[in-house]
Structure 1
Amino acid sequence: MSLKHGLLGLLNYGPMTGYELDKAFRVSLSFFWQAKTSQIYRELDAMELCGWLTSERIIQSEKPNKRVYTITNSGKEALADWLSLPGSDIDHAMRVKSAFLMRVFFAGETSTEQALKMLRSYRENCLERIKGMNDAYEAISEYGMVISNNKKSKYWEIVALYGDVFFDAGLAWADKAIALLEEEK
């Protein structure tokens, strides 16, 4: 997946400002695809140059002016083409590339206390992410009402379920790893 396809997917639900896209991205996609606000705006500009979207500047007197983005037919075709690609990214989804796990693998070179500190920090991060998944479910509910399409919001829910299971698995792993190291003490 690329950022541009995620943005096209969000715009396919309806016109949005850059701010609204950034917010929608953060509450719905950010647990599996991270993007900085500056990256989002850079992609929007590039996609407009490609003809995948248009933008309209709205002049406001009480608030700052805003720019509303709308997906074009060309953008809808690009999204449909991307969605219809064979599942070559499935194999990539099964691979883990983690500097953190590399550090854990070599943590035998450090003290048990240092390794425990690292694992406890990871555990706390999992707990925060689990709590943060509530934002994803709220977004599913909120945007599901906006687009009035239960089928589409059902797929959002399926992806959020992956996030739930992923972070729960991380928490369970951390608990077991911590218990193993605490047995050494």
Structure 2
Amino acid sequence: METKPGKEKPLKYVMLAGIYNEPRSGYELTKWLQVVGQHCWSVEHSSVYPALRELEKEGLISSERLPGTRGPERSIYSVTDSGREKLTVWVANASPRPAIKDEQILRVLCFDLLPRETALRQIAEVRAHHQSQLEFFLARQAALTEKQLGPLLVTRRGVLAEQAYVAWCDEVSEIIARRPA
């Protein structure tokens, strides 16, 4: 019995999406995930190669050994017709509500335990990180065209998410600054 697209491991579809956009080596796929998918999906590098082997075994991708740019041969993975069909079915279905796992928000829940200056320092550090991410996404967005629709839309989501996080940090800082020391 075939599993419904939403019931399978999401990693399978993350990998298919990355390879669909451009045939890649496992290393290139890991780097792609760090750039394009950093705000929507995290993948441990150690899980990339086992997932690629599984996808190839299932006939959803194929590999070709090609000379490396700076070293030995490497496997370049491409989506097969079967993989493209499976990916299309998955893309056509709605996603479940995303699980939000943000340790910083959990810490803010307990900011009343901290002295005002400690909380302000922490939120300033968080804001600086998200501001840096925002600048990264804005630069990436400027380099993309509508011919790169998927990466452009995902990057745009990254821009909006980082803008919202920076604005939230500013609001948190203002509220904490009004607290007695």
- TM above 0.5: yes
2:137 is matched with which residue: 124, 133, 149? 133
**How many pairs are equivalent?**
172
- Measure, in 1, the Cα distance between the counterparts of 2:46 and 2:39: 18
* Secondary structure, aligned partner of 2:21: coil
* Secondary structure, aligned partner of 2:39: coil
1:165 aligns with 2:160: yes
Task: Percent identity, please.
Answer: 24
After superposition, residues 100-119 of structure 1 pair within 5 angstroms as 100-119=104-123
Q: For structure 2, which runs of at least 5 residues remain unmatched after alignment?
A: 1-5
After superposition, residues 52-67 of structure 1 pair within 5 angstroms as 52-58=60-66, 63-67=71-75
TM-score between both structures, scaled by the size of structure 2: 0.81
Greater share of residues in helix: 1
Q: CA deviation at 1:174?
A: 0.8
Q: CA deviation at 1:136?
A: 3.7
* Secondary structure, aligned partner of 2:151: helix
Contact persistence 2:24–2:76 (CA under 8 A) = yes
1:46 aligns with 2:46: no
Q: For structure 1, which runs of at least 5 residues remain unmatched after alignment?
A: 145-149
TM-score between both structures, scaled by the size of structure 1: 0.80
Q: CA deviation at 1:88?
A: 4.1
1:72 is matched with which residue: 71, 77, 80? 80
- Measure, in 2, the Cα distance between the counterparts of 1:84 and 1:37: 28
